[in-house]
Structure 1
Amino acid sequence: MTIKTFWIISIKILGLLLILGALTVIPQWLTSIYSAYQTGDFESLTIVTLIFLAILIVYYFVFKLCVFKTSWIIEKLKLDRDFETQNIELNSKSFTIISIATIVIGGLMFVENIPLLLREIFIFFQKESLFKDYPKTGWIIFDFCKVILGYLLMTNSSRIAKFIDKPKKDV
């Protein structure tokens, strides 16, 4: 494996981890927007919404750069220069490494969110209220979606790795 291939794989894995982080940050921002809306403070609502949109745009572009424009990043940051050797002794293909990273990221999501989901469900049943009246219904749904997403990442890692590792023309 060449140094450039190593950096390509590392940056793509970083992009996947970025999406994992976004899945936690975005609902928190949406909660802030909803709070500002409920209080009727439209100045705060406007500011929070603009910041949220700016963050979404930054996440989108950084993710797109990390996953689909990795050669450009390597070129601009000169990551593949000044190494004594141009090869790293690794007997795995980039597809295999990305697939393993996807499984690990999915496993982390699954393992981290199962306790959160079970705790919220337990509290929900203790309150004995209707699902629509329970104040943390959104978090139950969110944690459930993250558990499902983690499971799907683990079980469909080869499809995701094929999508990410597609040869594309990097500029």
Structure 2
Amino acid sequence: MTKRDFFRILIKIFGLYSLILSIFTVIPQNISNVLFQFDIMMLLVILASTIISVGMFLVLLFKSDFIIDKLKLDKGFDDDKIIVGNLTNESILKLAFIIIGGFLIIDYLPAVLFDLINAFKTKSTFTSIEGNNVNYFDIVTGLVNILLGYLFITNYKSISQFLDKKQG
């Protein structure tokens, strides 16, 4: 594997992670803002942030060679090859899905647990934790992200094989 291939894979993994975060974090949070207080300016901000997120994903996924050339990421190394042993594209994708799934679970589990405790407290005592209102939309979004992270971790082999077949 060359340094260029390594940076190409790294940029594409980051692009995939940014797409997952924008689909399951940025868009749902902005939709909940529009639902609670509709404003044309807020709608334009949501549209712009969605277009920027999707545009960043597309650039990272399809223009990784351009990014490597402009930032000169593959220059200045003593050797052009990276010795990785038996590490293939599929094994790198497997590792990426395990890491992304772990990040999704780690990022959302504490917030979902806090929101569930707050919702339970509100239902049982009719008062929420001071300064925190119950937002069921955030609970559902967090649960979806945790489920997606779990599915990434448990199905990383089949997902990486599917994506590796699409590349080749």
Same structural fold, with TM-score higher than 0.5 when normalized by the shorter chain: yes
Q: Deviations over 1:13-40 (max 9, x none)?
A: 2113313432322233223322332xxx
Name the structure, 1 or 2, with higher relative contact order (CA <8 Å, separation 6+): 1
Give distance in 2, aligned partners of 1:25 and 1:79.
29
Aligned residues: 157
Give distance in 1, aligned partners of 2:65 and 2:122.
53
The answer to whether the Cα contact below 8 Å between 1:5 and 1:94 also exists between their aligned partners in 2 is no
Partner of 1:28: 29
Partner of 1:41: none
Structure 1, gaps ≥5 residues long:
38-44
Give distance in 2, aligned partners of 1:163 and 1:57.
27
TM value normalised by structure 2:
0.78
Q: CA RMSD in A?
A: 2.4
Look up the SS of the partner of 1:98 in the other structure: helix
TM value normalised by structure 1:
0.77
The answer to whether the Cα contact below 8 Å between 2:19 and 2:54 also exists between their aligned partners in 1 is no
Partner of 2:156: 157
1:46 maps to which of 27, 35, 40: 40
The answer to whether the Cα contact below 8 Å between 2:101 and 2:153 also exists between their aligned partners in 1 is yes
Matches within 5 A, 1:1-171: 1-22=1-22, 23-37=24-38, 45-91=39-85, 92-128=87-123, 135-165=134-164, 166-167=166-167
Give distance in 2, aligned partners of 1:46 and 1:159.
43
Look up the SS of the partner of 1:32 in the other structure: helix
Give distance in 1, aligned partners of 2:16 and 2:8.
13
